[in-house]
């Protein structure tokens, strides 16, 4: 087992990464605040891991709420089901909420924990690659709105993160590939050596080699923990973690959060960001080609939905958390392993990138 630390002073917490961690009560119970526990999971994860987690909690008063599975259920109506369960079970402000599932469960349950009685303790037990390498770490919690992704949320840190790599054995291939988009992101924005390692080791990762997966998760979490420690509330450098996300969120919003997974949309968005960076003269074409090749190796899409126009992108990108003073800010590349947040880019190059990736006239 690897243990990392997210260094946020009094809000610091450990990330445990390894095999068979869902049999380790000693990792979980020290982070539980009182006798009351509410587990939030979904219909896919519950049959696989809910009872295993409940077995670790036999000394506690354990309740549960099982939500539908899918990004389209990451909304205020479903969030309210968690509040209903907490109130029906008369949970107090020392109740510990446990998020057992992927990114949707982690984001929704974390936001519920941030809001209920103005904040109750919560623990992340991520069960997908995407949530283990990204969304469970850093305290970003939110739900979606029909007009924009993650527009309603809060920064709220967990007490700990328990990433049991065995849970990836039950993950379908498409979800595994989706998680790899966030992994590749770290290589592009701040860790060029990791990007090169991924180029060499992608076959082992896709084969779910345990050592390769542990390296992927540990390196990704360390990169994210380092960035979050520098900028918890995304006032500066943390925005780099959103490479490809402004383009990607536009795809997710356009498709109604149904037909594209988050990582699939981000993958296409990262290639679009690389393309724009090259048009600006900041990186050369070989960097774009390496990016595209690695995304293809990871079996991720490299073009948006065929029915998306440039106008669709512009409409959805205008409703993004990084927009300031009506200016779209993007994360762009200066090299593989070096990135910047900027609104200072040639609008004609931006238009050319949108035109190159869309197949219909506006």
Tell me which residues are annotated as active site.
Answer: 118, 140, 182, 224, 234, 238, 242, 245, 249, 262
Asked if 179 and 164 touch (Cβ cutoff 8 Å), the reply is no
Rounded to 10 degrees, the C-alpha dihedral 260/266/271/273 comes to: 130
Q: Residue 80: enclosing H or E segment and its boundaries?
A: helix 76-88
Tokens 């790599």 belong to 165
CA atoms within 13 A on the CB side of 47: 5
Tell me the two tokens of residue 88: 């029906």
Asked if 223 and 187 touch (Cβ cutoff 8 Å), the reply is no
Tell me the two tokens of residue 156: 């709220």
Q: 293 vs 13, 178, 287, 324, CA distance in Å?
A: 36, 16, 10, 33
Tokens 């000394």 belong to 59
Measuring CA to CA, which residue among 107, 69, 316, 297 is closest to residue 205?
297
Asked if 242 and 250 touch (Cβ cutoff 8 Å), the reply is no
Q: How many residues does the chain have?
A: 362
Asked if 165 and 210 touch (Cβ cutoff 8 Å), the reply is yes
Q: Residue 181: enclosing H or E segment and its boundaries?
A: helix 173-189
């Amino acid at each position: 087992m690897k243990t990392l630390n997210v260094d946020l002073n009094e809000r610091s917490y450990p990330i445990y990464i390894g095999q068979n961690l869902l049999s380790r009560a000693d990792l979980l119970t020290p982070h539980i605040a009182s006798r009351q526990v509410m587990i939030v999971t979904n219909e896919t994860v519950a049959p696989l891991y809910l009872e295993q987690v409940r077995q670790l909690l036999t000394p506690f008063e354990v309740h549960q709420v099982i939500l539908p599975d899918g990004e389209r259920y990451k909304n205020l109506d479903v969030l309210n089901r968690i509040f209903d369960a907490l109130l029906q079970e008369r949970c107090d402000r020392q109740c510990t909420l446990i998020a057992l599932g992927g990114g949707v469960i982690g984001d929704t349950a974390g936001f519920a924990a941030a809001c209920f009685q103005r904040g109750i303790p919560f623990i992340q037990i991520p069960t997908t690659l995407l949530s283990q390498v990204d969304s469970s770490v850093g305290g970003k919690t939110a739900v979606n709105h029909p007009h924009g992704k993650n527009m309603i949320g809060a920064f709220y840190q967990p007490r700990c993160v328990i990433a049991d790599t065995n849970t990836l054995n039950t993950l379908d291939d498409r979800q595994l590939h989706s998680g790899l988009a966030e992994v590749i992101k770290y290589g592009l924005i701040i860790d060029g050596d990791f990007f090169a390692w991924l180029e060499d080791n992608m076959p082992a990762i896709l084969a779910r080699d345990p050592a390769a997966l542990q390296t992927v998760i540990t390196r990704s979490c360390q990169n994210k923990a380092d960035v979050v420690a520098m900028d918890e509330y995304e006032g500066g450098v943390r925005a780099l973690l959103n490479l490809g996300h402004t383009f990607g969120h536009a795809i997710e919003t356009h498709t109604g959060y149904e037909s594209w997974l988050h990582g699939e949309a981000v993958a296409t968005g990262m290639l679009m960001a690389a393309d724009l960076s090259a048009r600006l003269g900041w990186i050369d074409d070989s960097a774009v080609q390496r990016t595209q090749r690695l995304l293809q190796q990871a079996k991720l899409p490299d073009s948006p939905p065929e029915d998306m126009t440039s106008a669709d992108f512009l409409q959805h990108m205008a409703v993004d958390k990084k927009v300031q003073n009506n200016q779209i800010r993007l994360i762009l590349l200066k090299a593989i392993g070096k990135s910047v947040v900027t609104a200072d880019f040639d609008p004609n190059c931006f238009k050319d990138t949108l035109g190159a990736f869309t197949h219909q006239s506006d």
